[in-house]
Amino acid sequence: MAYRAQHRRAGSKRPVLRAVAVSTALVLLTLAGTVFLTYRHLEGNITKSQAFDNIVGPRPTQVAVEGPKKPLNILIMGSDRRAGQTGVLGQTPVGLSDTTILLHVSADRSRAYGVSIPRDLMVARPECRSRDGKGTVPAVSVAQWNEAFALGGEACTIAQFEKMSQLRVDHFVVVDFNGFKSMVDALGGVPVCVPTEVNDPIGRIYLPAGSYEVSGQQALNYVRVRHSIGTTDTGDIGRMKRQQAFLASMVNKAGSAGTLFNPPRLIRFLNAGTKSLTTDPGLSGLRDLFDLAREVRSIGLNKVQFFTVPFTTYEPDPNRLALAPTSGELWQELRNDRVLDKKFTAGAAKASEGKPGKPKPGKKPDPDAAANGLCA
């Protein structure tokens, strides 16, 4: 009797173990299915563009450099559509490229540079195909930088950049500014430091002096604002510097443990980010983007630097800019994948400095710092 009782008790555990095993298998299958569906969903969010096929004329050749891989030149363009926006040169408004950044990743993956191109820069524009693909945009000897995107989209901007720098673009990314707002919200805001009050009725933004996180429309207006923010370095240059500091802060938060180990926040960020992207086919796969992000992160955030191409005043119009003579040296150094001299990177925003400090008590605010989104 005792033996049969023990046998029954031992046997009675088997249905329980089977139930646990089946339940565990179902949970794992459900998780695997969820991960797969999320992956498919995120990858489906990305818009693919064949802009490289629409470039007219010859393109620069790549310089062979030493390293386990080849260097990467990725042109990042910000497409900004706003209510009441007017077209360029009589064209239908399709969004202006208010932000253009070359991201150069070295062949040995030891450093990355983000070089901003001013929207008010006057450059030569080569012949481009029009946005509708039915005609061409004629070449001109002098044009404002951001007209290329409005007239010929990504292909025209890439051709214009390659003509200016003689650097071959390997990949491109177009980020929709309104989607950028969703990315900031998905992170729960991005830290900024405002040493002096920002009050711009035109840009619809008011920020008291202080250190805090901005999100939503406030964050978008902050990276857009060009006026009433400090007394010098305002306009496009101040905005670029502020965008560089903001991007550094955003990269820092996106790579923090608070995001990487917070699955709901990470998924929201990736969902918002992929919805905002248009890329060439070589970067349109989620795995391609993850591999690139992993490579950039392995560089070390202190070696991911954002700065602006050397510029000077455009003599015929002091409200416009021209390339400084040293810009040719910068492009040559990047073309040969060299470590840049500090004369180019002095004052660069670093992704490792993504947590802005607080205004120093008792210290006179620096208006340039306010314009640049930094603390004195």
* Cβ-proximal residues to 261 (8 Å cutoff; 6+ apart), any chain: none
Looking at the domain assignment, is residue 194 inside a domain? yes
The DSSP string of 127-194 is -EE-TTSSSEEPPEEEEETTHHHHHHHHHHHHHHHHHHH-PPP-EEEEEEHHHHHHHHHHTT-EEEEE
Residue 156 and residue 261 share a domain: yes
Looking at the domain assignment, is residue 8 inside a domain? no
Residue 285 and residue 212 share a domain: yes
Residue 101 and residue 233 share a domain: yes
d(CA 49, CA 219): 28
Residue 222 and residue 161 share a domain: yes
Looking at the domain assignment, is residue 187 inside a domain? yes
d(CA 45, CA 286): 10
CB 89 within 8 A of CB 151: yes
Residue 106 and residue 29 share a domain: no
CB 199 within 8 A of CB 185: no
Q: What sign does the CA torsion over 38, 41, 47, 50 have?
A: positive
- The pair phi, psi for residue 306, each rounded to 5°, is -115, 130
- pLDDT score of 127: 95
Residue 99 and residue 32 share a domain: no
Looking at the domain assignment, is residue 177 inside a domain? yes
pTM, whole model, 2 decimals?
A: 0.77
The interaxial angle of helices 147-165 and 327-335, nearest 10 deg, is: 70
CB 104 within 8 A of CB 113: yes
Residue 314 and residue 222 share a domain: yes
Residue 55 and residue 41 share a domain: no
- pLDDT score of 26: 61
User: Among 74, 62, 77, 78, which residue's Cα sits nearest to residue 103?
Assistant: 74
* Cβ-proximal residues to 233 (8 Å cutoff; 6+ apart), any chain: 241, 368, 371, 372
Looking at the domain assignment, is residue 278 inside a domain? yes
**Between the CA of residue 330 and those of 33, 120, 311, what are the distances in Å?**
48, 19, 12
The interaxial angle of helices 263-275 and 2-45, nearest 10 deg, is: 30
Q: Which domain holds residue 30?
A: 14-45
Residue position matching structure tokens 């003599």: 315
- pLDDT score of 363: 42
Looking at the domain assignment, is residue 27 inside a domain? yes
- pLDDT score of 31: 52
Looking at the domain assignment, is residue 3 inside a domain? no
Q: Which two tokens stand for residue 311?
A: 């510029």
Burial (Cβ within 10 Å: 0-12, 13-18, ≥19) of residue 94: middle
Looking at the domain assignment, is residue 117 inside a domain? yes
- pLDDT score of 296: 74
- Residues of the chain short of pLDDT 50, as ranges, are 2, 5, 8, 82-94, 230-234, 355-374, 376
Can you give the CATH number for the domain in which 273 is found?
A: 3.40.630.190
- pLDDT score of 10: 52
How much of the chain is in helix, strand and coil states, percent to nearest 5?
A: 45, 20, 35
Residue 53 and residue 22 share a domain: no
Residue 195 and residue 267 share a domain: yes
- pLDDT score of 24: 62
Q: Which two tokens stand for residue 239?
A: 């905005």
Residue 23 and residue 55 share a domain: no
What's the total number of domains in the chain? 2
Q: Kindly report each contact of residues 56-62 with a partner whose C-beta sits within 8 Å and lies 24 or more positions away, as own/partner.
A: 56/126, 56/127, 56/128, 56/129, 56/136, 56/159, 57/126, 57/127, 57/159, 59/159, 59/162, 59/168, 60/162, 60/166, 60/167, 60/168, 61/168, 62/168
Residue 322 and residue 289 share a domain: yes
